Amino acid sequence: MTADGTAFLSSLLTSTTSDRAMQAAVDHVVASLGCDVSWTGEIEDDGHLHIRAHTGLQTTEMPAQWRLAVGEGIGGRAAALGITQQSSNYLHDSRRVPAKKMIDDEGIAAVLVAPLKSAGSTVGVLYAGQRGPRTWELGDIATLESAAHHLSVRFEQLGRITRTEFELRGHTRRLVAADSALRSSTELVEALASADSIKAALELTAAVLNLRVELSDGSHQRLTAGPAEELCRGTEASTALGGSSSLFIRLRAAGEEISPADPPIRLALNALRLQVLRLREREMTREEMRGDLLERLLTGRFTDAEAVRRRLALIGLPRLAESSRVAVVDSDAAIEAHASRFVDDVRATFPQSLASHRGTILVLVLATTESEESVSRRLTELIGREEARRSVPKLIVGMGRRATTPHEIALSFNEARAAHSVAHSAESESRNGEETAGADRVVSARSLGLQGLVSMPASQLRATVRDTLGPVLSHDATRGTDYLDTVRTYLRHDKHLGGTASELHLHYNTVRNRVARIEGLLELSFDRPDDRFRAETAVRMLAVLDAVGDDSTEVPPSE
């Protein structure tokens, strides 16, 4: 290899960009071929060849404005065919492109053009030009093609270097990001231990990782923290909360992509999940100990139903706000030490439930979509099991309507309490010693005709009771009679004098005379359907007033 060739290869190897490599090539062509001018044309996005490097040109117009479509002219054909092209008299060549004023201004009359290739495709051409006619020898062609070959090889090398550097920068960037994320995740794990609420845990995670964090049940976002949802269009990572909860945690990126497979993301997700589970269990324990949420549900003393739904979801009981019934169990199950086992049985049957002892009753809020009859059968089995285990007398359960909103739970509770009170009172007052059938162990407000009455204002209930039963209540209060008990028993036995007399332990005629006296006091006849309906309604209203603990349990007599 000549000294000039060695210098050329050295120049190529030290060229760090394609422009420098092309400049080394055109300088070598002029020196080795002894030609007047050389330039390179590179195919750009517009499909034309544009000058990137040149030597020997005398005008500034040609380097700035020369462009040639691939397939046109001598150089364009060399690029299109991938074969070296030559012209000894360019001015009279049939391949000449019309209006080539810039080449004419340079006085170029002969050209030799070799294609430049990289990665198997033509990327440009290498020109050798002469001002004046010239016959190109085989050695000239070999020299130009050799220069074009070496330049093409350098193109591929530079391309690989560029790609490698790009990949390296990408790997470095991801490594730095992973290291930063891992550090952030480590800080998050340490910081989460101090989060005293689920909301605080989500906000802390969003702040440390710069992500949007959502706690959702699929259809509703229960809690969120971090950037706004509309800003988060990138990838996401999620994990189910687990246990009895239907919630799941989702991390969403506002800017950089995240991958659920990235260790820092998995670490953050699992750390947050564990903390949320821990905090949820703590909230559940607090609820069992203090019953703040249940107290608000049973009394209806709250204004933000969505906040109640959110809190129920956070303690793993979202279905309570969507479909539930309240049941009230009498004092035997509430005051005994073994009641905890009964509650455990209830929770095994109804996984989403809340239990609370209120005075001498045990209140159960059961998440269920089953019919009243189905729930009644399951509760009957539970109390039957409890009776067998503890050898206690028959237990009574009152059940309210199905609640489909948080506010309806208070109504269901009042109905359950009224049904329980009426049924328990009837059992206590029974004097015939007969056992009630198992199906009667669970009584509902609907079956007793109490459903809907508990939603009426107490003042309206008292007024109706006073207008209908006032004389009987006054007679019992002033003379010590049991006329109200007679009315209840007589109506419960469907006006059957024999059954009423047997339960009250009175003579048949005594009951008949007493009923007649009561009809006179109330100015009605139990044989008339309207009068009987009024009396039955008033009796049930009075039972509701007694059950819900109304201040005016004893309704004053009418004036």
Is 176 contained in some domain?
Answer: no
User: Could you tell me the residue range of the domain that residue 69 belongs to?
Assistant: 3-162
- The amino acid sitting at 19 is D
- pLDDT tens digits for range 249-302: 888 877 666 666 677 778 778 888 888 888 777 766 666 555 678 888 888 888
Tell me which of 94-108, 293-307, 412-426, 435-449 is least confident.
Answer: 435-449
- pLDDT tens digits for range 198-231: 888 888 888 877 788 888 776 666 678 888 877 7
- Could you give the number of structural domains in the chain? 4
CATH code, 139: 3.30.450.40
Indicate if the pLDDT at residue 421 is higher than 70.
yes
Instruction: Tell me how far apart the alpha carbons of residues 225 and 266 are, in angstroms, rounded to a whole number.
Output: 18
Task: Quickly state the pLDDT bin for 338 (edges 50, 70, 90).
Answer: very low
Domain limit, last residue, from 393, 414, 442 = 442
Is 243 contained in some domain?
Answer: yes
For 205, the token pair is 């995670």
- pLDDT tens digits for range 12-42: 888 888 899 999 999 999 999 999 999 999 9
| Average pLDDT score over residue span 531-550 | 79
| Average pLDDT score over residue span 430-450 | 63
What pLDDT, on a 0 to 100 scale, did the predictor assign at position 437? 39
What pLDDT, on a 0 to 100 scale, did the predictor assign at position 203? 86
SS percent in the chain: helix, strand, coil, step 5: 55, 15, 30
For 435, the token pair is 């056992």
Same domain? 282 vs 322: no
Same domain? 323 vs 271: no
Task: Return the bridge partners of 54, or none.
Answer: 39
Same domain? 9 vs 146: yes
For the chain, the first-to-last Cα distance in angstroms comes to 134
CATH code, 549: 1.10.10.2840
Secondary structure (DSSP) of 156-214: HHHHHHHHHHHHHHHHHHHHHHHHHHHHHHHHHHHHHTT--SHHHHHHHHHHHHT-EEE
Sheet holding 248-252, edge to edge: 221-225, 212-216, 248-252, 236-240
What pLDDT, on a 0 to 100 scale, did the predictor assign at position 453? 75
What pLDDT, on a 0 to 100 scale, did the predictor assign at position 387? 79
Indicate if the pLDDT at residue 430 is higher than 60.
no
Indicate if the pLDDT at residue 331 is higher than 70.
no
Whether 536 and 469 have beta carbons less than 8 Å apart is answered as: no
Same domain? 436 vs 476: no
What average pLDDT is seen over the chain?
82
Task: Quickly state the pLDDT bin for 392 (edges 50, 70, 90).
Answer: low
Going by C-alpha positions, the residue among 32, 36, 27, 28 that lies closest to residue 131 is 36
List all residues 6 or more positions away from 315 whose beta carbon is below 8 Å from its beta carbon: 280, 283, 284, 287, 293
The rounded percent of the chain whose pLDDT value lies above 90 is: 23
Is 177 contained in some domain?
Answer: no
Same domain? 349 vs 397: yes
Is 186 contained in some domain?
Answer: no
Q: Is the pLDDT higher at 186 or at 507?
A: 507
Q: Are strands 221-225 and 236-240 parallel, antiparallel or unpaired?
A: unpaired
Domain limit, last residue, from 442, 465, 496 = 442
CATH code, 404: 3.30.70.270
Indicate if the pLDDT at residue 116 is higher than 90.
yes
Is 183 contained in some domain?
Answer: no
Same domain? 327 vs 404: yes
Going by C-alpha positions, the residue among 443, 452, 451, 331 that lies closest to residue 376 is 443
Same domain? 389 vs 424: yes
The rounded percent of the chain whose pLDDT value lies above 70 is: 86
Look up tokens 């509650």; give the residue. 343
Indicate if the pLDDT at residue 196 is higher than 80.
no
Task: Quickly state the pLDDT bin for 243 (edges 50, 70, 90).
Answer: low
Same domain? 47 vs 69: yes
| Average pLDDT score over residue span 122-129 | 94
**What are residue 350's phi and psi, to 5 degrees?**
-120, 90
Task: Quickly state the pLDDT bin for 432 (edges 50, 70, 90).
Answer: very low
Indicate if the pLDDT at residue 552 is higher than 60.
no
| Average pLDDT score over residue span 45-68 | 90
Same domain? 466 vs 434: no
Same domain? 335 vs 464: no
Same domain? 72 vs 199: no
- pLDDT tens digits for range 162-192: 788 888 888 888 788 777 767 777 777 788 8
Is 423 contained in some domain?
Answer: yes
Q: Is the pLDDT higher at 424 or at 173?
A: 173
What pLDDT, on a 0 to 100 scale, did the predictor assign at position 310? 82
- pLDDT tens digits for range 80-99: 999 999 999 887 787 777 65
In this structure, the number of other CB atoms found within 10 A of the CB of residue 109 comes to: 21
Is 102 contained in some domain?
Answer: yes
Task: Quickly state the pLDDT bin for 337 (edges 50, 70, 90).
Answer: very low
Domain limit, last residue, from 287, 320, 339 = 287
Is 188 contained in some domain?
Answer: no
Same domain? 144 vs 213: no
